[in-house]
Structure 1
Amino acid sequence: MSIEIGSVVEGKVTGIKSFGAFVELEEGKTGLVHISQVSHTFINDINDVLKVGDVVTVKVLNVEESGKISLSIKETQPKPEGSDRPRRGGGRNNAKGGNKGGGRKGGAATTTVHSDASSEPFNTMADQLKEWAKKAGMA
């Protein structure tokens, strides 16, 4: 049986690094569960959650032609209650609507952020900078 994207299978943790866990699947293939895909909650040290030899249920997220297999334990578990609420503080957007830099590498994202002084959304970083300069008396 080949490993297909979206399938849920069992595997055995064969190695742990600070960035994730290596899981041996059927046919001797090994995939990686990135630390962000271990749990719905923040994990500071993966060793607190997983140990070599643990049998885990994983969902196959991606299989590259090179053979690299991306896995998720988190996707096999129900989301905890209240996990759809916006984050405060160190999350992607703080309580005042400013971006804390949670974007992805490799591409620009369009983010709509509302200012406290205006009900108009910012559509670009240039718009946001103009608004901040205006508030600071620089424009």
Structure 2
Amino acid sequence: MAVEVGSKVQGKVTGITNFGAFVELPGGQTGLVHISEVADSYVKDINDHLKVGQEIEVKVVNEKDGKIGLSIKKAIDKPERPSSSYSQRPPRQARNNDNRSKSNFQPKENFEQKMARFLKDSEDNLSTLKRSTESKRGGRGGRRG
């Protein structure tokens, strides 16, 4: 039985690698679910999401040169959003330029304070870097051998 691109099928996880999971499909074929296709969120370790022998539903994403690409996150049916989401938002009020002067916004730091903090941090970083590189170079009077 040949799998078709776009179809959803049940499969069994047969192997897990650091880049994805191999899934046995009906008909004895094997496909790969890339780690980026496991979940909608970032997947650092695929073992947190899948186990060998687990039955999962996958969607066939592509098939090229006998290699089958699968996706778990595309196999999950998501509720459709309304096509015109903008019509449901309340209308924005026009912004007057006069509002800026009436605003209660107060910055935490002024420019001079930010610049002084930046310069101090930069000098600290440079001195730390200089200390660590001088010891590696040997500095003046270092051993010659």
TM-score, normalised by the number of residues in structure 2: 0.52
Query: How many Å separate the matches in 2 of 1:55 and 1:47?
Result: 14
Stretches of 4+ aligned residues off by more than 2 angstroms: none
- Per-residue CA deviation, residues 47-103 of structure 1 (Å, 9 max, x unaligned), is 011000000000000011x210000000012459xxxxxxxxxxxxxxxxxxxxxxx
Give the structure 2 partner of residue 41 of structure 1: 41
Unaligned runs of 5+ in 1: 81-139
- Per-residue CA deviation, residues 21-48 of structure 1 (Å, 9 max, x unaligned), is 0000011100000000000011110001
Opposite residue 38 of structure 1, the aligned amino acid is V
Corresponding residue pairs, total: 81
Tell me the SS of whatever aligns to 2:50.
coil
- Contact 1:40/1:79 (<8 A) preserved: no
- Two-structure CA RMSD over aligned residues (Å): 2.0
Tell me the SS of whatever aligns to 1:28.
coil
Give the structure 2 partner of residue 52 of structure 1: 52
Percentage of identical aligned residues: 61
Tell me the SS of whatever aligns to 1:5.
coil
Report which of the two structures shows the higher radius of gyration computed on alpha carbons.
Answer: 2
Give the structure 2 partner of residue 27 of structure 1: 27
